[in-house]
A = this chain, B = another copy of it.
């Protein structure tokens, strides 16, 4: 593992690190600033799962030119179980260390590096693992992006929060009782990270008395977009780009 103090001192004019939010998926929901930075950066990096182009890369591809260097940072593990004797956290930690070193090489050589981030870079984004490792050593700028939360509200077409609403973002990996508690105390809720937790999340929403107001939104603003009442969703696993949204209590 490499910390900032173990890296050679950067050249006098190091490159600039950008975390660029590319928005929720529709390439038109990227900001002008993101496009400007993507077009001007000699090096563009993005995370991707093995066997996948990466959604952030697909969203940004219309704005990239052939002469730019594209670094594909491929997650080492695609299945749930890491190799025997190694924790998933350790594997990921090493992966992020190596990715940060790769980027640092370009930054040290004076090249700006733009990291593509689905949604917003600092809202549940993998960019923050690079930010943790590099922001103290290189000039760093984050370009905020439209999140999946905003995209889902627009697709469902209901105000998410209004007036004095308390809004919560919960994650599906929490246990069922915590989810019920979180759902009950809020005026508007989004539940992210559904995956294999979809059925548990639905049970929690039902126990909180909110099933009639809950929407399931999949791939908002992307090809294959779906939005339907959570009560009508088939049982099973939800894809990565999915969430549950319960709009403002004042709108239901």
List chain A positions with a Cβ less than 8 A from chain B.
21, 23-24, 26-33, 35-36, 120-125, 128, 131-132, 135, 140-147, 149-151, 153-154, 157-171, 173-174, 182, 185-186, 193, 221, 251
The answer to whether B142 and A157 touch across the interface, beta carbons within 8 angstroms, is yes
Closest to A131 in B: B159
The answer to whether A142 and B146 touch across the interface, beta carbons within 8 angstroms, is no
The answer to whether B144 and A154 touch across the interface, beta carbons within 8 angstroms, is yes
User: How many protomers of this protein does the assembly include?
Assistant: 2
Given that A144-B29, A144-B150 are contacting pairs, would A170 and B166 also be in contact in the complex, using a CB cutoff of 8 Å? yes
Given that A26-B33, A28-B31 are contacting pairs, would A144 and B135 also be in contact in the complex, using a CB cutoff of 8 Å? no
Contact of A29 among B33, B124, B149, B182 (CB under 8 A): B33
Given that A36-B28, A166-B170 are contacting pairs, would A157 and B140 also be in contact in the complex, using a CB cutoff of 8 Å? yes
Chain B residue numbers with a CB within 8 Å of A36 are: 28
CB distance from A137 to the nearest CB of B (A): 13
The answer to whether B31 and A150 touch across the interface, beta carbons within 8 angstroms, is no
The answer to whether A122 and B153 touch across the interface, beta carbons within 8 angstroms, is yes
Chain B residue numbers with a CB within 8 Å of A170 are: 166
Closest to A23 in B: B31
Given that A35-B32, A167-B169, A169-B166 are contacting pairs, would A123 and B144 also be in contact in the complex, using a CB cutoff of 8 Å? no
The answer to whether B154 and A143 touch across the interface, beta carbons within 8 angstroms, is yes
Chain B residue numbers with a CB within 8 Å of A21 are: 146, 150
The answer to whether B150 and A24 touch across the interface, beta carbons within 8 angstroms, is no
CB distance from A24 to the nearest CB of B (A): 7
The answer to whether B171 and A123 touch across the interface, beta carbons within 8 angstroms, is no
Question: In the bound complex, how far is the Cα of B143 from the Cα of A185, in angstroms?
Answer: 29
Question: In the bound complex, how far is the Cα of B90 from the Cα of A199, in angstroms?
Answer: 43
Question: In the bound complex, how far is the Cα of B158 from the Cα of A140, in angstroms?
Answer: 11
18 residue pairs A–B, Cβ–Cβ below 8 Å: A21-B146, A26-B33, A28-B33, A29-B32, A32-B32, A120-B146, A121-B154, A122-B161, A123-B149, A124-B163, A125-B159, A141-B154, A144-B151, A144-B153, A144-B154, A147-B150, A164-B173, A166-B182
The answer to whether A122 and B144 touch across the interface, beta carbons within 8 angstroms, is no
Question: In the bound complex, how far is the Cα of B220 from the Cα of A142, in angstroms?
Answer: 13
Chain B residue numbers with a CB within 8 Å of A31 are: 23, 28-32, 146
Question: In the bound complex, how far is the Cα of B221 from the Cα of A39, in angstroms?
Answer: 21
Chain B residue numbers with a CB within 8 Å of A169 are: 161, 166-168
